């Protein structure tokens, strides 16, 4: 039995879910448990917290040289890998999520035929940050708020403003 199956068994035993937990290969709970276990193993692979910070800080200094940022954790692609570090306080990274990629493509900040949209988006975030003397985290947050409309700390969601923003940008902010 795998570690993540043991974790899932423990969750079922202790929580008594009202619904039957699906255990198929693509079911959510087994995937969630696998991500938790692999996250723990990933963090455990660093001998000390300082070694982890050294590794993570390397992306601050040369993130544009590392297009393959992807944590070796099940379920973590480039966007979640960047988000993981960004939300731990590594403000030199943004998250190449769907909101930023769509806005950047529509504004021709990145090529809509780009093979590695995640990397192109990360480079664009850094470029915009440098041009405005702010951290990439700030650029990420502004474009994410435009794209999602989710002001999560205020419990307000105004809906995506992407189309309005794109239109205003293309019309010269009239």
Kindly list the domain boundaries of the chain, sorted by start residue.
Answer: 1-45, 46-170
> What would the DSSP string read from start to end of 106-120?
HTTSS-TT-S-HHHH
Banded model confidence at residue 156, pLDDT cuts 50, 70, 90? confident
Report which of residues 144 and 72 the model is more confident about: 144
**Residue 105 pLDDT:** 94
What is the arithmetic mean of pLDDT over 135-159?
84
Residues 110, 153: Cα–Cα separation, whole Å: 30
Query: Using CA atoms, how far apart are residues 125 and 161, in angstroms rounded to an integer?
Result: 19
Question: Which pLDDT value is given to residue 64?
Answer: 57
Q: Tell me which of 86 and 104 has the higher pLDDT.
A: 104
Mean pLDDT over 160-171 rounds to 84
**pTM for this model (two decimals):** 0.74
**Mean pLDDT, rounded, of the chain:** 84
């Amino acid at each position: 039995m795998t570690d993540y199956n043991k974790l899932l068994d423990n969750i079922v035993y202790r929580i008594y879910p009202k619904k039957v937990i699906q255990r198929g290969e693509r079911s959510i709970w087994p995937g969630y448990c696998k991500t938790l276990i692999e996250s723990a193993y990933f963090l455990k692979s660093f001998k000390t917290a300082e070694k982890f910070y050294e590794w993570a800080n390397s992306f601050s200094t040369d993130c544009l040289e590392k297009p393959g940022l992807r944590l070796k954790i099940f379920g973590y692609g480039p966007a979640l890998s960047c988000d993981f570090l960004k939300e731990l306080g590594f403000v030199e990274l943004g998250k190449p999520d769907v909101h930023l990629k769509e806005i950047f493509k529509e504004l021709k900040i990145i090529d809509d035929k780009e093979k590695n949209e995640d990397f192109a988006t990360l480079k664009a975030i850094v470029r915009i940050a440098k041009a405005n003397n702010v951290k990439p985290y700030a650029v990420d947050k502004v474009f994410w708020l435009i794209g999602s409309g989710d002001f999560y700390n205020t419990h307000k969601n105004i809906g995506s403003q992407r189309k309005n923003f794109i239109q205003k940008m293309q019309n010269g902010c009239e």
